[in-house]
Amino acid sequence: MTVTRFAPSPTGYLHIGGLRTALYSYLWAKKNEGKFLLRIEDTDLKRNSKEAAEAIEAAFKWCNFAHDGAVIYQSKRFDLYKEYVQKLLDEGKAYYCYMSREELDAMREAQQAKKERPRYDGTYRDFTGTPPEGIAPVVRIKAPQNGEKIEFTDGIKGDLSFNVDDMLDDFIIARSDGTPTYNFVVAIDDSLMGLTDVIRGDDHLSNTPKQIVVYNALGLDIPKFYHVPMILNPQGKKLSKRDGATDVMEYKEMGYFPEALLNFLIRLGWSHGDQEIFSMEEMLEHFDPKDVNASASSYNAEKLLWINAQHMKVMPSARIIEDIKHFGMDISKHPKKEVIVDALRERAKTLKEFVEMAKPILEVTQSYDEKAVKKFLNEESIAALQAYHDSFKQATKMLESSEFEAFTKAFMEENDLKLKVLAQPLRIAMVGSAVSPSIYDTMCIIGHEGLGEHIERLLKTFNP
């Protein structure tokens, strides 16, 4: 069974790079009818944030990621990690190191002065003497030495080889206070959780050789690794908050659909032919982590906006009606709610923009845009609007867009008028500016009585 995981540290919000990694892991597990697990790596007790852990789960819920089983918190597994530390000590695969911080710093300064790579020199690796007093020891693992290589095949980067003399020393697996270190507990947890595939950012690539040392020392099965290249800004530099590396939930506040955000993220470094728009079902059908591009991808805010707009156009009306409640707009009981959605879904790129466009239609016009008034309201257009209003008052009550359209076109034909003479004054009357969705849909949404009141209010203001 394929088992993947997402394992964030709760020291800050979940950003889109982390969400993309979670998406890849989720898709690969579910495509293979496997399990997708969530582990919170909260061993750094000084930097952990309960709010950050809750925010990660909130983002998962918004994106509809259903992780399997209970969330695993590393901070609740310290006793287990101590057992594995002791196992390595008992088997002679790890040892206590009593080197003080001052001694360690002095050793590294001397190495740097000789232009050598700073590293622990193994002073206590085979120590059998009397430990110095007053020093709480750390525990170091015995790493391979003397030119050995650590090799593995990465699902994205291919065959990789690391010379241990170039990058490894006997690294710490337990601090002087007994708390375990990151690379030690990750290897243990990934094995005990039955991970078959570890999909993570390539900033973790340098950790992998250390974790393989732990796997081998404990006799644990090593999963398949996929190291995903980073998301960079358009200038090719590390993505900043200004570029888009913000809290995932901020995208909800900006009016994006989670489906659109996931669609955008999967296309950052992966493709399926020329297809741009993907449903979750299509992602599950086509995604394979081995097809992820080995080079970094670039964040494109305009592309995200475009993808969101495409999802808006096909999103069920009921979903849009429900989601705009988050932005303080409830049209669920409006008699023309479907007309509202259909009139705006082609124009709005985000839910927030949808609400901003809907407000002028649904609220009574309190003021008129000065530029629109100056450009479109003149003696001719006001006279045409007055004639339209006089005729409209005699008309049978209209309910549908088609009825408003038929009446208006008949009026223009009878009075030998072009729509451009009447359209913009009507828009100004209805929404206060010269910008609106389809003029006939707007009339339908405002309603027969409302339209008459809007026109009358404008005429009283500019043709008293």
Q: Give me the helices (H) in 193-289, please.
A: 208-218, 248-253, 258-266, 280-286
Q: Is the pTM of this model over 0.95?
A: no
Is 28's pLDDT higher than 70?
Answer: yes
Q: Which residues contact 316 (CB under 8 A, 6 or more apart)?
A: none
| Exposure string over 427-439, b if 16+ CB within 10 A, otherwise e | bbbbbbbbebbbb
Over residues 352-401, the pLDDT tens digits come to 999 999 999 999 887 999 999 999 999 999 999 999 999 999 999 999 99
Q: Which residues contact 16 (CB under 8 A, 6 or more apart)?
A: 231, 239, 244, 245, 246, 248, 251, 261, 265, 299
Is 108's pLDDT higher than 70?
Answer: yes
Is 47's pLDDT higher than 80?
Answer: no
Say if residues 343 and 433 touch (Cβ distance below 8 Å). no
List, edge to edge, every strand of the sheet that includes 138-141.
Answer: 94-97, 138-141, 172-174
Is 243's pLDDT higher than 80?
Answer: no
Six token digits for residue 8? 């964030």
Nearest one of 453, 423, 426, 460 to 363, comparing CA atoms = 453
**Residue type present at position 371:** K
Q: Which residue has the higher pLDDT, 261 or 145?
A: 261
Task: Tell me if residue 371 is catalytic.
Answer: no
Q: pLDDT band at residue 79, thresholds of 50, 70 and 90?
A: very high
Q: pLDDT band at residue 464, thresholds of 50, 70 and 90?
A: low
Mean pLDDT of the chain: 93
Between CA 147 and CA 411 the distance in angstroms is: 91
Is 130's pLDDT higher than 80?
Answer: yes
Say if residues 263 and 278 touch (Cβ distance below 8 Å). yes
Is 433's pLDDT higher than 80?
Answer: yes
Is 86's pLDDT higher than 80?
Answer: yes
Say if residues 192 and 260 touch (Cβ distance below 8 Å). no
Q: Three-class SS of residue 437?
A: coil
Nearest one of 244, 241, 232, 236 to 269, comparing CA atoms = 232
Q: Which range (111-125, 208-222, 296-310) has the least confidence?
A: 111-125
Q: Annotated catalytic residue: which of 61, 76, 149, 241?
A: 241
Over residues 145-198, the pLDDT tens digits come to 888 899 999 999 999 999 988 889 999 999 999 999 999 999 999 999 999 999
Model pLDDT, residue 397: 95
Say if residues 362 and 331 touch (Cβ distance below 8 Å). yes
Model pLDDT, residue 165: 85
Domains of the chain, first to last:
1-70+229-314 (3.40.50.620), 78-228 (3.40.50.620), 364-462 (1.10.10.350)
Average pLDDT value for residue range 426-451: 95
Model pLDDT, residue 371: 95
Six token digits for residue 388? 């339209």
Nearest one of 261, 93, 114, 48 to 184, comparing CA atoms = 93
Give the position of tokens 């088997």.
Answer: 91
Q: pLDDT over 70 for what percent of the chain?
A: 98
Q: pLDDT band at residue 254, thresholds of 50, 70 and 90?
A: very high
**Rounded to 5 degrees, what are φ and ψ at 152?**
-160, 165
Say if residues 248 and 62 touch (Cβ distance below 8 Å). yes
Q: pLDDT band at residue 235, thresholds of 50, 70 and 90?
A: confident
Model pLDDT, residue 463: 75
Model pLDDT, residue 233: 86
